[in-house]
Structure 1
Amino acid sequence: MIFTETMLGGAFVIDVDVREDERGFFARTFCQREFEAHGLKPDVAQCNLSFNHRAGTVRGMHYQLAPAAETKLVRCTRGAILDVIVDLRPDSPTYLRHVAVELSEDNRRALYVPELFAHGYQALTDGAEVTYQVGEFYTPGFERGLRHDDPRLGIAWPLPVTVISAKDAAWPLLGAEEVTS
């Protein structure tokens, strides 16, 4: 695997290191030792799959608070998405800044999302399918979210939003209060 740290410390784009021969190719997509060597938490408590009927669908921006803060390893296995993460670590020099990465079945790229980062994505194609390896169990009492269209975040979604859940559309806009409370 090829680990490239983003401008948000601790968040990595992970590309596969393809080994090809006449049969096709082989590539490792997860290795506990390699994750640990890069200072990442390799814990996997759940593996999730989401399917999106329509391009323009937005899911997120989700995160969980401690003691149920999650890491995520996100990969698009069918179609393409724009995956977006927002740094919510209060003492971070990149607090409330975001990174957007295209993940697709063609680039086979993954995004490692550290704890206290909001995560969401927009489907760029009809039928986009996304897998997540999550480092903590889903814990509703610790779940929080940010609005995908919050002007303080300034996320430029590439397509008009065609579908979003009522829950995701109802997250409050950022105010003066701390988002990690």
Structure 2
Amino acid sequence: MQKDFDLQDYLTRGVERIVTEAVKATLKNPKESAFMMKFAKASRNASSKRKKAEENGEHIPPFLIASITSKCNLHCAGCYSRCNHATVDSEPVKQLTSEEWLKIFNEADKMGISFILLAGGEPMLRRDVIEAAGTKKNILFPVFTNGTYIDENYSSCAVELAEV
């Protein structure tokens, strides 16, 4: 008889696989490797927090998707965000501030969430939120971007935040 599917365990193992592969990918660069090893430890601690919460009947997911803006500079064919009208050409309305996002990131950290995908619209338009995310050392923030705003300013910002 097949064991019942455990979504929490499945998602946690998925995050652990990503972290393990990222550690392997950084082995040639000691700084990157040290950063990823610290994150791997933080990820294990986050998993323990989620397990304790689960034992108390509270389900905490191992990762989140944060759509940090509805603004985008492109009109890509098949864009999920434009398809459901979450991204439009007008200025965003009722957009969270970087301080509000940082509060969410802090709460996520306390709850044991160790992976937050930053999406949009085009998340690179929210440098303030990217910088706020960079202060959270226990959370990995992949960015789902079209790449058109990646420039020297973002590259130097990423280096500065990684060294903090």
TM-score bracket for the superposition, by shorter chain length: under 0.3
Larger Rg: 2
Structure with greater proportional strand content: 1
Higher RCO by CA contacts (8 Å cutoff, separation 6 or greater) = 1
Q: In proportion to residue count, which structure has more helix?
A: 2
**TM-score (normalizing by structure 2):** 0.24
Give TM-score, length-normalised by structure 1: 0.23
